[in-house]
Structures are given as C-alpha cells and as structure tokens.
Amino acid sequence: MKKTGIGFVGVGNISGIYLKNLTEKFTDLEIIGVCDLVKEKAQRAVDAYGMKLYGDMRELFADPQVDIVLNLTRPAEHYEVSRAALEAGKHVYSEKPLAATFEQGKELVELAQAKGLLIGGAPDTFLGAGVQGCRKLLSEDVIGRPIGAAAHMICHGHETWHPDPEFYYRAPGGGPMLDMGPYYVTALCQLIGPVKSVMGMTRTTWPTRTITSQPLNGTVIEVDVPTHQTALLRFCSGAIATLITTFDAFSMPGVNNIEIYGTSGNMIVPDPNNFGGEIKIKVKEKNSPDAAQNFGGGAWIPFDTPYDIYSENCRGVGLADMAAALQQGRAPRAGAATQTLHVLEVLTAIERSSAEGREIAIESPFEAQKLLPVTAEENVF
C-alpha cells in the first residue's frame, strides 16, 4: 500500500514530536518535505530527518507526492495556510485551533466539502488511552448518566518557558481559551456529547507581560486578549459543565483537570493535554443504607484504563487516522466537519458571550466517531 505523503508547513516548537512520531510510530505515513518562513528551522529538520526542503508553501502544495498538508503555523496563520492548501487540492490537518474565528473555520469546512477534501486537526489527545478509556467506561454506565462536569486549565502563562511566547497574548488567535481550551472542550464533547449553548465571562489582568525565557528575556509583550476566561457549557444531553482557562493564576495542587459527575458516581479524567494518565472513579455502593454518604465521603478508586495503546506522547495519531480515513472512505476521528469546527465555535462563543452579556447558542454539529480498539493487536484504525 502506498504511504500517505505529508508536507509540513511550519517547523516551530511543536514540530519536533510530529517529526519523531511520523518517522518512528506511524510508518504508514511518509514525510515528503518541510517549509518555514525561518529557513534555518526547516533546514535543521531536513538535516535531522532527511526530506525535501521547499522554498515556500506554494512549492510544497505543487508537489504531487504530498497528500496531506500538516499546518503547524501559529494560530493567526492557520486559516490562510489551510485555505491555500485546500485551494491547491490538498487535504489538511491543522494544529489547534482550526482558525482564529468561527467564521474562518466554517469557511474552511465548506471549502473542503466543495472540493471533496478532508480537513481536521488537533488536538488528537482524545485518541489516547486516557480519554478513550473514560469514554468506554461511560458507555458501560460505570458512573451512570453524566449530569455535569468541571474542567480547569490553570497556569501563569508561557513567557517563562516558551522561546517566543508573544502570540499567546495577541489577537487574533491568542489567549488561554484558544490555546488550551481545545484539549478540554474536545475531551468534554467526546465524553458528554455536543454543546448546545455557552455563557462566558472574561478579563485581562495585566496589560503587559515580561518574557523571562531565552532568547527574548526582558522583552515586554503588549496583551490584547482576555487572559482569564470562565464559562458555563450547556450540553444537548442536558448536562452542564464549568470551564476555566487562565494565564493569570498559579496552578494549585489537587485541582483535577476534568471531573465528570454522574447519576451514580463521579469520574476524574486524566489531563486532556496528555494521552495517558490515571482514571479515578467514585461510585455509590449499591444496597447500602448509607450509600449516599459513602459516595460523598469515600476515597477515589484508581481505575486502570482498558487501553494498552497510545498512553505515551502520540501526537500525530489524529493525522495517521486521517490518512487511514482517506484509504477507507470514512470520516476522520479528528475531522473538522464533525469535531474541530464545533470546538472552535464553543471556544470563540465564550468571549462573544462575555462581550454581549448573554447565552450564545451553538449551531455547528458534533459527532464522536467510533472508539479505537483497546489493543494494538486489532486493526487500530
């Protein structure tokens, strides 16, 4: 079977794990070549992995060996690059978010459908052992019907470690909700279903940030996006979740990334930024006179995920699934038409809700695709 050819547009901070995994884990894919506005970055990738070096993305799009364009540019650039790739007849897999605005994302999906192309993208961490395991347990009614959830992404920003963090604080595409929210909303939708409406409140705590990482230590960044965002998500199922993403607060030990509250138990979901992690469950003891009390005060029970695949850093599995979807004539699990556009609409509606002071209805569809098999011995895709 012919390998699916991948062309990288952008060779920045996240590209390293894609380069590694696409050459070591997902061997049905072949990296054809790379390009970057910073030629030195692209050259380093070529030197390390051996592939074509394109002068620009137009040259990459013109290569018939490239089947899927992997868009690893910055969020503000996702729309223009993905649109150009689609217009050139290429399938597209983009890092999160799909675009900086819902309108741009919707345009990309419509363009892809008009041309008979696939578009989708990150995050693909929901295909890891953690979220897949939680989804399987929920399908088995382990904690009953989900009635609510709480999700927290709490950190004090990226300027202490990222080599060039300014884009996290600038519009379009900046802020914690568009940066980290995709992991959390994707996981919540996978576990609970589509979002019906959102309400949000946002603020910007500091008008400037000072970079303390190298090589830009001491550089002052102007902040023009909300950096603390809180939301209520109303799901079509009736469940209600709270979501906090912030670059303004210090992380707190003991705060769970995601908790799901069910009619007969609760579940702690592993960090959706990772692929694996420990699942914990607390369930009501059946036929016990003080079951409710035991449920409320009992200890969390670690629950081994039934999955033995994709527990380590497997970024690129969503791209591998898209390549398999092309061969099988099905929708990709991380497709824009069924997932990433819905997630983008939820994320952007939160800031819109804050600005307009009202609940915002979500119009785009969401459809969770088939669960992965639990072992690598089965046909994974």
Q: Which of 3, 168, 164, 16 is nearest to 100 (CA)?
A: 168
Name the pLDDT band for 305 (thresholds 50, 70, 90). confident
Structure confidence at residue 295 (pLDDT): 56
Residue 128: pLDDT above 60? yes
Structure confidence at residue 291 (pLDDT): 45
Name the pLDDT band for 290 (thresholds 50, 70, 90). very low
Question: pLDDT (tens digit, 9 = 90+) per residue, 23-69?
Answer: 999 999 999 999 999 999 999 999 999 999 999 999 999 999 999 99
Q: What is the mean pLDDT of the chain?
A: 94
In the three-class reduction of DSSP (H, G, I as helix; E, B as strand; rest coil), residue 126 is classed as helix
Residue 296: pLDDT above 60? no
- Mean per-residue pLDDT, 125-144: 96
Question: pLDDT (tens digit, 9 = 90+) per residue, 93-102?
Answer: 999 999 999 9
Whether the CB-CB separation of 350 and 228 falls below 8 Å is answered with no
CA distance 168 to 173: 8
Q: Which residues contact 82 (CB under 8 A, 6 or more apart)?
A: 69, 71, 92, 94, 98, 99, 108, 119
Q: What are phi and psi of 47, to 5 degrees?
A: -65, -35
Residue 201: pLDDT above 50? yes
CA distance 31 to 280: 38
Q: What number of other Cβ atoms are within 10 A of residue 43's Cβ?
A: 14
CA distance 211 to 213: 6
Structure confidence at residue 293 (pLDDT): 45
Residue 289: pLDDT above 70? no
Question: pLDDT (tens digit, 9 = 90+) per residue, 332-381?
Answer: 999 999 999 999 999 999 999 999 999 999 999 999 999 998 887 677 88
Structure confidence at residue 297 (pLDDT): 58
Beta bridge partners of 265: 283
Whether the CB-CB separation of 226 and 204 falls below 8 Å is answered with yes
Structure confidence at residue 99 (pLDDT): 98
CA distance 342 to 188: 12
* Terminal Cα-to-Cα distance of the chain (whole angstroms): 15
Structure confidence at residue 2 (pLDDT): 87
CA distance 365 to 223: 33
Q: Which of 52, 53, 54, 120 is nearest to 86 (CA)?
A: 120
